[in-house]
Structure 1
Amino acid sequence: CVIPNYAKKLKLTETKDRKQSCGQRAIFVGYNTFPNLMSVLTGMNMSSIYSACHPNMYSCNELMIWSKFRKAGYTTAYGEDYLRLPDTFFRHNGFKYTPTHHYMRPFFITGEQQNGNVICTGHRSSGKQILNYAYDFADTYKSQSFFGMFWINSYSHNLDNLPSLFENDLLNFFEKARESDILNNTFIVFFSDHGIRYGPMRLLEESYYEERLPMFFVWVPNEFRTLHKQEYYNLQLNQNRLVTPYDLYATLAKISNMSANSADITSEACPSCKNLFEEITTHRTCAEAGVISKWCSCHDMKSVDRTIDRDATNSLQLAVSYVQGMANEIQTIDGMKCHSLQLEAVLRTHAFKGVNKTYYVVAFQMKPGQVVYETTVLKENNEYSILDSVDTLTAYNVRGNCVKNENDRKYCVCKKLNIVRT
């Protein structure tokens, strides 16, 4: 079972209860929270999501997995903390109306504040408020059918948030759930959207995989293990096989209609993806699982010496030129512009093979600003191309605040224009 670095900081991941649950070998499908979370909630790819969720998130609420549960007679709930983050639904105009029967956003709007490296609401951390709410919700409806989606950003989103602070609250949640018999008939999916995306740890070679392998554990209720032995056996088999958010969507959809014994619901973005109660082949590829090459981690990546491998040098030059070109074309607010960027250092160069193609992963630092970038360059038929995008490994700060388009921020180190009046 793959446990990302931030999960290793939780002693809970080494407890007996964790070992009795199922930890999956999951791969994410997008750069940040929104695509990875939406793939779980809708089973759709980003182009379909952007089209369906315009002008706001409520436009696509019927596509959300909690709506499928609601239609199946379940009581539903959704909660998310650290509301000022732009990674999830805030940037997409949020929900105009309450998306579920129970909705936590109004509670956090009343006074979420930052106290050091802890996000608080009232006299408790926002993360603890969510866990308390999740427990109360489950305990209230434990004799009925219910579905709750509770997303905690505040303990681990930024580098100054400490997942270890989460441990006691999380242990308390599971202990109370056991004591109140919630675990007997309730699935609990404990997962993250991605690994660490920026900061000093991303400079390490293994961080390429760290980013792409989110945390994913499933608590299987005791009743299900007894009544559905083959499905439980398959779920255990799938622990060490390639799993994606699309499979999780199909699994949740299966649970929602299991009592109706109706046809399985599959992911629109990955029609061949399966729910995790079916055995997944050991030979599954990223393409078969709906994962594009940029995010695939099913390969053997090796270090490359640029002084020997000319293709690696060409790949680096293409990546640097791409960043420089983007910086020179960005539209900024009046009186500001982006610095012209120059290569300062090459941090690492690796490569892995595909069928009649080679992928070069390069990480490099540009100046001024000491911004670190990483990208994957595809070499195929003696041609080179950037695979999907160039990403920054340096934490966002005020350096790019002068851009008009938020998506350009990572390529810009702002400076004031020198305007001489005559």
Structure 2
Amino acid sequence: SHDSNNRLPYADNELLAFLQMMPTNGYLAHTMLVIMTDHGARFASLRKTYQGKLEERLPFMSIRMPPKFQAQYPTIMRNLRLNSHRLTTPFDIHETFEHLFDFHSNDHYQSKSNRSISLFELVPENRTCAQADVAQHWCACYNWQDISTNELIIQQYSQAVVDFLNKFASEYKQECATLSLFRVNKASQLKNDDHRSNSIHSNDKNSSLHQTNESRFYQIQFETKPGEARFEVTAGYDPKTKNIRCSTTAS
């Protein structure tokens, strides 16, 4: 499914057979079943759309606990169901497994990391990406507003990223072609009235984006030549210094 979702139905029959076999043979009586994907569409045409962007950042996740566990621990099951509508990350899944290894009924569990919460505990309804240590580029909570790709700052920003890519690959000039900006497909700006922008800075040590009162944040999708490779990058712009700082995470 990396290149197209059209092949996903090929797995339907095998997945159905597996899910039918598990309860038929009694395996689910004592098994926590987790079905998940690592990410959504990354290369197909769907990725160009807003839906594709969300699916890349919000992969499928499902958890089924054994019936006896569900009956014995209704509070935990309530937390699990509520958490399915709250901001969670793979680090929370890992913390949930840690919780299972040290499970003592309904006793409160203390997470071993500041960036993760066991899904058996109730995740705060107002949890932010910064609190969950999700880098700004990957956060699906922000309110981005489409703007013209012809704006000067967008053109400057796109060219700055291409220059960075060429500099990054400069040691491999013999193997890598020098890239040039082909076209900007999409540009958006973080809305100033987004209350989440107050906590926009991620705790991720790889992030170089910092929030100030004057900061503006942009996200662009563009293509380069040769090869028409597609990039999506998030950056902060400081009007005072006229500096553009890109997040080191990009797709």
TM range (shorter): 0.7 to 0.9
**Structure 1 residue 263: Cα displacement:** 7.5
**Structure 1 residue 359: Cα displacement:** 2.2
Q: Show the counterpart of 2:230.
A: 372
Indicate conservation of the 8 Å contact 1:286/1:293, yes or no: yes
1:349 matched to 2:220? The reply is no
Please give the alpha-carbon distance, in whole angstroms, between the structure 1 residues aligned to 2:186 and 2:149: 10
1:326 matched to 2:168? The reply is yes
Count of paired positions: 229
Q: In the TM superposition, what whole-angstrom CA distance separates every residue of 1:362-405 from its partner, at most 9, and x where no partner exists? A: 111111222222211122454211111443xxxxxxxxxxxxxx
**Structure 1 residue 219: Cα displacement:** 1.0
Q: Show the counterpart of 1:208.
A: 53
- Identity within the alignment, %: 27
1:278 matched to 2:116? The reply is no
Call closer, same or farther: CA 1:349–1:290 in 2, change over 3 Å.
same
Call closer, same or farther: CA 1:306–1:157 in 2, change over 3 Å.
closer
Call closer, same or farther: CA 1:302–1:261 in 2, change over 3 Å.
closer
**Structure 1 residue 260: Cα displacement:** 8.3
Call closer, same or farther: CA 1:306–1:160 in 2, change over 3 Å.
closer
Please give the alpha-carbon distance, in whole angstroms, between the structure 2 residues aligned to 1:184 and 1:358: 53
Amino acid at match of 1:312: I
Call closer, same or farther: CA 1:262–1:228 in 2, change over 3 Å.
closer
Please give the alpha-carbon distance, in whole angstroms, between the structure 2 residues aligned to 1:174 and 1:297: 31
Call closer, same or farther: CA 1:205–1:342 in 2, change over 3 Å.
same
RMSD between aligned alpha carbons? 2.4
Tell me the secondary structure at the aligned position of residue 162 of structure 1.
Answer: helix
Please give the alpha-carbon distance, in whole angstroms, between the structure 2 residues aligned to 1:315 and 1:267: 40
1:232-381 matched pairs, under 5 angstroms: 232-259=77-104, 264=109, 266-268=111-113, 271-307=114-150, 309-327=151-169, 329-331=170-172, 336-353=174-191, 354-355=197-198, 356=213, 357-380=215-238
Call closer, same or farther: CA 1:389–1:251 in 2, change over 3 Å.
closer
Please give the alpha-carbon distance, in whole angstroms, between the structure 2 residues aligned to 1:233 and 1:160: 33
Call closer, same or farther: CA 1:205–1:157 in 2, change over 3 Å.
closer
Could you tell me which runs of 5 or more consecutive residues in structure 1 were left unpaired when the two chains were aligned. 1-155, 392-422
Tell me the secondary structure at the aligned position of residue 350 of structure 1.
Answer: strand
**Structure with higher RCO (Cα < 8 A, 6+ apart):** 1
Q: Show the counterpart of 2:65.
A: 220
> What TM-score do the two structures reach when normalised by structure 2?
0.81
Indicate conservation of the 8 Å contact 1:249/1:267, yes or no: no
Tell me the secondary structure at the aligned position of residue 41 of structure 2.
Answer: coil
Indicate conservation of the 8 Å contact 2:149/2:186, yes or no: no
1:199 matched to 2:44? The reply is yes
Please give the alpha-carbon distance, in whole angstroms, between the structure 2 residues aligned to 1:263 and 1:299: 31
Please give the alpha-carbon distance, in whole angstroms, between the structure 1 residues aligned to 2:221 and 2:121: 39
Call closer, same or farther: CA 1:260–1:217 in 2, change over 3 Å.
closer
Please give the alpha-carbon distance, in whole angstroms, between the structure 2 residues aligned to 1:220 and 1:208: 30
1:176 matched to 2:21? The reply is yes
Call closer, same or farther: CA 1:212–1:160 in 2, change over 3 Å.
closer
Amino acid at match of 1:374: E
Call closer, same or farther: CA 1:169–1:345 in 2, change over 3 Å.
same
Could you tell me which runs of 5 or more consecutive residues in structure 2 were left unpaired when the two chains were aligned. 192-196, 199-212
Indicate conservation of the 8 Å contact 2:2/2:43, yes or no: no
Indicate conservation of the 8 Å contact 2:2/2:42, yes or no: no
Please give the alpha-carbon distance, in whole angstroms, between the structure 2 residues aligned to 1:389 and 1:237: 30
Q: Show the counterpart of 1:387.
A: 247
**Structure 1 residue 233: Cα displacement:** 0.6
Indicate conservation of the 8 Å contact 2:41/2:56, yes or no: yes
CA radius of gyration, larger in = 1
Please give the alpha-carbon distance, in whole angstroms, between the structure 1 residues aligned to 2:157 and 2:246: 9
Q: In the TM superposition, what whole-angstrom CA distance separates every residue of 1:1-52 from its partner, at most 9, and x where no partner exists? A: xxxxxxxxxxxxxxxxxxxxxxxxxxxxxxxxxxxxxxxxxxxxxxxxxxxx
Q: In the TM superposition, what whole-angstrom CA distance separates every residue of 1:203-253 from its partner, at most 9, and x where no partner exists? A: 223322221111111112111110001110111111110001111111111
